Amino acid sequence: MTSIVNLEISGEGTGLAELVDAVPSLTCEAETAVVSNGRDLWLSGASNDEIEAGLAEASAVEEYALINGSDGEWLYNVEFADETIDVFELVLEEGGTILDASAPDGSWVLNIRVQERNDASSIYEALEDRELSPTIIRLFDTTDESHSQAGLTERQYDTLVAAVDHGYFDIPREVSMQELAEELDISHQALSERLRRAYRSLVTSELDVTPEEAEPAPSPSLSD
């Protein structure tokens, strides 16, 4: 039976800690698609110049390259040193698929799909063996969980509930994103990132697809 495990792990040893040391305000969201070299990371929370200075300073970063980005968020391909722990590969080796990975405060928060609950235990033990201090936030079977909560962290769920209660999804909207952010006592950018992660978690868990499969198909040409 397919299950979803939501857990938090330390950034130590994964390269994240070094980046946050260099840029304390940094937030990070990982692209879960496998790339040939390094890892694709959406970086925000600081200026582009500060982020690049942090990437150059971080001892765990071997190479980096800007792919694209704007409006305070940039996508970088980051290649880490050989001794750095690749959490994505580790989870894959233990029978899991990372649906969503973000690091809003220096620790990784992962949504992982497993075919058997035993796989969740194996992943936990593998992370613990590498001293990543895993903490399971939620573990549930996809067939037993209500559609409104599937794949969401508690903060994501509470944020969506608050958005509904305050009329953010009404047409027309009864509250702006800035007003909702002030109500939740978080920044506009933090709210935007949390909502986007929540949307993606809902899509990937409800449709039982990976984030790559959830990508929209190319628009047809006028001649199609």
Angstrom distance (rounded) from CA 200 to CA 216: 12
- Residue 105 pLDDT > 80: no
Angstrom distance (rounded) from CA 108 to CA 197: 13
The structure's pTM equals: 0.63
Token readout for 95 is: 């029978």
- Residue 208 pLDDT > 80: no
Angle at 216 between CA 211 and CA 221, to 5 degrees: 155
What pLDDT digit, counting tens, does each position of 15-47 carry?
Answer: 999 999 999 989 888 876 655 567 889 898 899
Lowest mean pLDDT among 85-89, 111-115, 151-155: 151-155
Tally Cβ neighbours within 10 Å of residue 170. Answer: 11
DSSP code at position 217: P
Token readout for 48 is: 């582009």
- Residue 175 pLDDT > 80: yes
